[in-house]
Structure 1
Amino acid sequence: MTRVLIVGAGPAGMRAAETLSNAGLVPVVVDEAARAGGQIYRRPPEGFTRPGEKLYGSEAGKAAALHRMFDALVRAGRVDYRPHSSVIGFSGNEALLLGAEGTTAIAHDLLILATGATDRLAPVPGWQQAGVYSLGAAQVALKSQGVALGRKIVLAGSGPLLTLVARQLRKAGAGLAGVLDTAPLAAQAAGGMRMAAARPLVTARGVAMRAGLGRLYRAGVTLQSIAAGADGPNAVHWRDAWGRPRTTPCDTVALGWHLQAETALADLAGVPFDWSATWEQWLPRTDDAGRAGRGIYLAGDGLRLLGADGAEIAGRLAARACLADLGHDIPAGDEASDRRRMARMRRFADGVARAFPWPAQMVAKLPDDAVICRCEGITAGELRATLPLSGPEANRVKSLGRVGMGRCQGRYCQRAGAELIAAGAGTTPEAAGRLRMQPPVRPAPIAALCRMVRED
């Protein structure tokens, strides 16, 4: 039987698995988490008592339905589910799967990558200190363990996740000290009109969540620094939309500027990339169904940042493309309906990108002593000093200056590094190029790599 490997068990991966299963295939689904759901519908451990309404808000019904559907497929043996496992690389038609028992090489005929997204971070002086997290990390702690990471939390950055995490923390009873958004109100209004035209109800819910934050929320800010003592952060220094200096006392900071597609495995699989001026990041190149060529398909936020609903549609489209390439008949009505909905999701996402832009000027003006690469402790000044030797090319800067050589492989510093390269060389972040990924894409014990088992 044809073996289809799906990497990721979020909304895109789960819907792709369902579509393939309904066609008689038994896909292998690999996921790093203990339970399927992805980041947006992340599930707590068994026996966790917080209800879905508190974990997922207005999306609780969708989350529960997806969880039930996928769990039923696994129980019926219609999906070969591999939790607690990470694909760390590829060798020909084999995926290298890292699990608790070592590394397994899984042969596959077709590959669907539904790897989701990660936080997009902009360096702020002081962000390398303990007690400074990403918005996604704060959300994971809350959903997985019911833990707020502090008592006086400052959330800073921009994008829908900023408001969502703030609301989730407040509903859980956590102490919020401030919500600082670098996006100007004018940009939010212009992008918000596009969002409302595409998905009015979703936009209205977002506006209501924002209004519920009251005076905690500030728009159009410029982050200056994060001050810390022996016990971690104690204040965030920032300027308001009128340039006036402000200070917010805190004990925890979480940062995030919307999301970036998680594309490491797509890179290792040989998928081509294009620069997205809309999202200001490199994104995989596919057709409208997610085909990337050579039996590889992409779906969800690892392809385009369209949110949970868009990811479900993308998962079905990628699975149908897979089935069509195998010679299966695809119902035309279902395909046409999903493509119409996908077009609406893209219009909404375009509005999101315009409403919450990447803070390019704030990053370009980082002081020389600001750490840009947290893994390696490289400062903005050290990167700038590399440019006369490396030239304005990201991989040469990485080789000579070590920015992007740490355990995250540039996931959190690549975009900011490109901004500094562009500012120093008088070019653009696109011209700086894209860092090449190297296997393993996650830190892996040498002992696990030595225990390789092949699974045909």
Structure 2
Amino acid sequence: MTEPASEPWDAVVVGAGPAGLAASTLLAEHGTRVLLLDEQPEPGGQIYRGIERAAAGGTRARILGADYMHGASLVARFRASSVTYRAETSLWHATPELALFASHRGATDRLHASQLILATGAMERAVPVPGWTLPGVVTAGALQILIKGSTLAPDQPVVLAGSGPLFYLLATQCLAAGVPIAALLDTAEPRHMVSAAGALPRALAGAGPSYLRKGFALMAQLRRARIPTFRAVRDLEIVGDDRVKGVRFKSRGKEHQLAASLVALHEGVIPGQNATRLLGCNHVWDVHQFAFRPMLDAWGLTSNPAIHVAGDAGGIVGARAAEHQGRLAALDALIRLGRIDSATRDRHAAVERRALSAHLAVRPLLDRAYPPPADISTPAHDVIVCRCETVTAGEVRDLARQGLGPNQIKAALRCGMGPCQGRLCGTTVTQIVAEARGSAPEGGDYYSIRAPLKPVSIGEISTLG
């Protein structure tokens, strides 16, 4: 549905994952005119993808488990609300004054909002290792999309390489879906596990023990399945000419080579930052998560007083924490819209903050235990970092050593100018520049982001009035 530009929305929420669903539902329940935009055909985001087609006790429920099925109640409450929901819609431009341009089914609408909540989630961290651009290499998230979206599964053995909680979760989901797993290559370093022990007392508070039990249960399930597992993996290389033929790596000091035609990589997720960059929001380098995130207050408010960020787009927190952050952002937006007073906001927020704190208790332990390997943060000289423009780490490093920053390197090498607009290479280029400079990344050490955020055709733009 197209809304006249003269009738601004009270609030526009972007992203129909847990944070966006919770935020938009709460806003609507307080009588606001709220619009939810999402690129996918169904609500749920990546974590709850296909949830409305997942029957209790059905195939999806069996494969994906109780945490996935929690999304059903979240979506049901959303469906019962008065939220105007526009699926298959891409926000491709936005201004700090909250003029929004969204493409929907071949046409572009110009929208206006008094408040904007970005719940655009995270993206998988790029894993630039030798051979990662070969056909047959996918992200772990791509496999998960197949399983969640259509319960499809590869029929050829897959090598899973990476680390972190989502790595083990995906491996068990692959098992349940019947995906043959040739091997698990765990890149987590034992020394990080030791250093993470200092965060264990906090992780034993709140919901932390339940997360730890789930993690140990996943590992036990994989051990029972007798999947070949290599630990402390380093120097990973994907071998092949026109497509994947195998993997080479070191594990505990020994060199190994395995035949493989399908390799899935995963080294955690990072906030999607292009929208907040375009809107001029201030950002900070998160030294624990090795990624940029927007600077937010306790309500998710950015440096722009009309823009909130909730969920993994503001820093990696997980699905259940994202849900509570979405409601906190909505409560603050409601007071800015004059729908509630501060006492009401704070009373409702107290409940959300207790739940949020419980779900965040385990986060410091996970961040310390699973940092990204150094060889993907600052790859070897001949490894491609910008897939779109085929730019190597060496080319970036040579210019960084001359004192050039990400935007100057972008102009010189075209890295970050392809269809992904720097989403894949941006964080890696930032870290190469910081390495050359000898200091940690700063908030401005990233590409300048310009519209369109997502590919849009001239025909779609021409539909603007």
Q: Given the alignment, which residue of 95, 98, 112 partners 2:117? A: 112
Which residue pairs with 1:11 in the alignment?
Answer: 18
CA deviation map 1:373-419 (0-9, x unaligned): 11111112222333355x24111111112222211111111222233
Greater Cα shift, 330-339 or 191-200: 191-200
Summarize the Cα distance change of 1:298–1:35 in structure 2 as closer, same or farther, 3 Å threshold.
same
Equivalent residue pairs, number: 445
Structure 2: 5+ residue stretches without partners: 1-7
Which residue pairs with 2:39 in the alignment?
Answer: 32
Amino acid of the structure 2 residue aligned with 1:370? V
Q: Given the alignment, which residue of 128, 133, 146 partners 1:128? A: 133
Task: After TM superposition, give the deviation of residue 87 of structure 1 in Å.
Answer: 0.5
Which residue pairs with 1:66 in the alignment?
Answer: 74
Summarize the Cα distance change of 1:342–1:44 in structure 2 as closer, same or farther, 3 Å threshold.
closer
Report whether the alignment pairs 1:344 with 2:358: yes
Contact 1:392 1:425 in 2 (8 A): no
Task: After TM superposition, give the deviation of residue 55 of structure 1 in Å.
Answer: 4.8
Distance, in Å, in 1 between the alignment partners of 2:58 and 2:300 is 36
Which residue pairs with 2:231 in the alignment?
Answer: 219
Task: After TM superposition, give the deviation of residue 425 of structure 1 in Å.
Answer: 4.2
Contact 2:300 2:310 in 1 (8 A): yes
Amino acid of the structure 2 residue aligned with 1:89? H
C-alpha RMSD of matched pairs (Å): 2.3
Q: Which contiguous aligned blocks of 4+ residues in structure 1 show a shift greater than 6 angstroms?
A: none
Greater Cα shift, 265-274 or 34-43: 265-274
Which residue pairs with 2:89 in the alignment?
Answer: 85
Which residue pairs with 2:210 in the alignment?
Answer: 201
Which residue pairs with 1:415 in the alignment?
Answer: 427
Which residue pairs with 1:447 in the alignment?
Answer: 459
Task: After TM superposition, give the deviation of residue 51 of structure 1 in Å.
Answer: 3.3
Report whether the alignment pairs 1:353 with 2:385: no
CA deviation map 1:158-215 (0-9, x unaligned): 2211111111111000011122222113423543625344510111101110222225
Q: 1:278 aligns to what SS in structure 2? A: coil
Greater Cα shift, 306-315 or 215-224: 215-224
Q: 2:361 aligns to what SS in structure 1? A: helix
Contact 2:13 2:20 in 1 (8 A): yes
Distance, in Å, in 2 between the alignment partners of 1:351 and 1:210 is 17
Summarize the Cα distance change of 1:121–1:4 in structure 2 as closer, same or farther, 3 Å threshold.
same
Q: Given the alignment, which residue of 100, 107, 110 partners 1:102? A: 107
Task: After TM superposition, give the deviation of residue 283 of structure 1 in Å.
Answer: 0.7
Distance, in Å, in 1 between the alignment partners of 2:388 and 2:128 is 12
Distance, in Å, in 1 between the alignment partners of 2:458 and 2:233 is 45
Amino acid of the structure 2 residue aligned with 1:224? L
CA deviation map 1:131-157 (0-9, x unaligned): 111111111121112222451111112
Report whether the alignment pairs 1:318 with 2:318: no
What is the TM-score of this pair, normalised by structure 2?
Answer: 0.90
Distance, in Å, in 2 between the alignment partners of 1:424 and 1:24 is 53
CA deviation map 1:418-437 (0-9, x unaligned): 33333344444448812221
Summarize the Cα distance change of 1:362–1:318 in structure 2 as closer, same or farther, 3 Å threshold.
closer
Report whether the alignment pairs 1:264 with 2:274: yes
Amino acid of the structure 2 residue aligned with 1:377? T
Which residue pairs with 2:247 in the alignment?
Answer: 236
Report whether the alignment pairs 1:158 with 2:168: no
Percent of aligned positions with the same letter in both sequences?
31
Task: After TM superposition, give the deviation of residue 126 of structure 1 in Å.
Answer: 0.4
Amino acid of the structure 2 residue aligned with 1:51? T
Task: After TM superposition, give the deviation of residue 269 of structure 1 in Å.
Answer: 1.8
Contact 1:134 1:254 in 2 (8 A): yes
Q: Given the alignment, which residue of 376, 397, 404 partners 2:389? A: 376
Report whether the alignment pairs 1:404 with 2:416: yes
Contact 1:2 1:109 in 2 (8 A): yes
Q: 1:237 aligns to what SS in structure 2? A: strand
Structure 1: 5+ residue stretches without partners: none
Which residue pairs with 1:364 in the alignment?
Answer: 378
Which residue pairs with 2:61 in the alignment?
Answer: 53
Distance, in Å, in 2 between the alignment partners of 1:445 and 1:159 is 38
Contact 1:195 1:352 in 2 (8 A): no
Greater Cα shift, 351-360 or 34-43: 351-360
Q: 2:453 aligns to what SS in structure 1? A: coil
Contact 1:404 1:411 in 2 (8 A): yes
Distance, in Å, in 1 between the alignment partners of 2:143 and 2:427 is 22
Summarize the Cα distance change of 1:223–1:213 in structure 2 as closer, same or farther, 3 Å threshold.
farther
Distance, in Å, in 2 between the alignment partners of 1:356 and 1:202 is 15
Alignment of 1:378-397 (within 5 A): 378-387=391-400, 391-397=403-409
Distance, in Å, in 1 between the alignment partners of 2:276 and 2:434 is 25
Distance, in Å, in 2 between the alignment partners of 1:99 and 1:120 is 28
Q: 1:305 aligns to what SS in structure 2? A: coil
Amino acid of the structure 2 residue aligned with 1:434? Y
Greater Cα shift, 303-312 or 430-439: 430-439
CA deviation map 1:9-51 (0-9, x unaligned): 1100111111111111131000000000011001178699953
Distance, in Å, in 1 between the alignment partners of 2:63 and 2:76 is 16
Distance, in Å, in 2 between the alignment partners of 1:40 and 1:47 is 13
Greater Cα shift, 284-293 or 60-69: 60-69
Distance, in Å, in 1 between the alignment partners of 2:440 and 2:165 is 26
